Structure 1
Amino acid sequence: MADQATGTLERDASRRVALVTGGSRGIGRACARSLAREGFDIAIIYAGNREAAADCVQELSKLGATAKAYQCDVANSAQVNDTVKAIIADFGPVWALVNDAGINRDGLLARMKDEDFDAVIDVNLKGAFNMIRALSRNFVRLRGGRIISISSVVGLSGNAGQANYAASKAGLIGLTKAVAKELGHRGVTVNTVAPGFIKTDMTDKLPEKTVKAYQAQIPMNRLGSVDEVGDVVAFLVSDAASYITGEVIRVDGGLSM
């Protein structure tokens, strides 16, 4: 179910390839942008917003990257397998996987519907599992590579009204550590980045009073930016981070200390 939004596959085969899920918006887009600046060609996976995906591919192209967008439901393993095959056929081996695709269906525990719990786990946790599994042979053949999953500080500390989301993000940490142990002997590093309160389209819709209340809990007294998360991902993908694996890197201004 691969779908090209825009872009070209005429590329320098010596450039490494990164695959970013949820790459058309927010933190995922910032990760793709940071990696493009570091000389990566980029495949992004998006759920449904074709316009945002096309705009992202155009932005990445202006940064010198060969980029292409693929529509895929990461919770659907068959779609993931087909999309990964298409990406490898288009780009060649994938050096870095960034799992950012995620949703939230917040609500109090007693009132949470089964479908809301299941949907969040399926996209946020199973989606990352599906992507890692589909690319595992790719990494084994490369005898190297990077896997980064975007968790959250709520996966470390929990949060009222987010039992499903917190569980999915905590699950990513356990998944990261297990895969790090499985693939470490193949030269693959596997890490998690846990953002705190990051300024996004979602936070822009919150009342100013709510934002200030959250900000007051942050030692650095400000919200983080998506680019600050993206730059940490770019570091973890780089050769400079070749001996870091199984870690959870918080990008939260000290919120979860």
Structure 2
Amino acid sequence: MKVPHNRFKAALRAGQQQIGLWCTIPNAGHAEAMALCGYDWLLIDSEHVAMSLETMHTMLQAAAPHPTHCVVRPGSLDLVEIKRLLDIGAQSLLIPMVNTADEARRAVAATRYAPEGLRGFAGISRATHYGLVEGYATRAAEELCVLVQVESVEALSNLEEICAVDGVDGVFIGPADLAASMGYPGQGAHPEVQAAALDAIARIRACGKPAGILTLNPDFLAAAHAAGTGFTAVAVDQDLLLRAARALSAEWKARG
């Protein structure tokens, strides 16, 4: 058995736009349902969500039979957490708050076995199809996708160096934390934040890497997409649910 093909990584390399949905509701059935909605990728988030490793495991299993690819975001650049996410079968990771090239190199190293990296080896895991994948230790990195998240003024000042790190497959802009770093907390769509993000997209593309973003501001999102993002998250599941629920409640209460 071969290492499973990472179609998301292949699509990014081919320059094919990948439209995604942020998945924050920790439930396997929910992940399965979202994987049938036509998105190219789902982001399973554990940075800002009460999401256990066991739940993430079942969400990956539930989504696996369907065309949508799951990208997983750990809580931080933590070697142990990243190792465990890889072992349960995550093949694409979005590493938050990467501010320097050294941190980007550490993110890549967390996904590589020695001597190239720092990942500990487990021979019997979901990642290895429980020992059935031939040569997993030497071939796994070919199908792993490492995305790093730049979301501070410091990260933007180091952007070209971060993009140049071997093994970084894409760079994602986080407008919310970037806004706070720029002095505009809670204003992720502030004009200066938008300008900085759009400039970052151009710089990332100039380095030959795909750029990603998530924003719930439709005009900002459209501008980022037009600027050339390669993996674009267009909504958050809980936001979709809440907006629909609130609109329906208001509609029926207005009837008296």
| TM-score (ref. length: structure 1) | 0.37
- Higher share in helix: 1
Q: Which structure has the larger Rg over C-alpha atoms?
A: 2
| TM-score (ref. length: structure 2) | 0.37
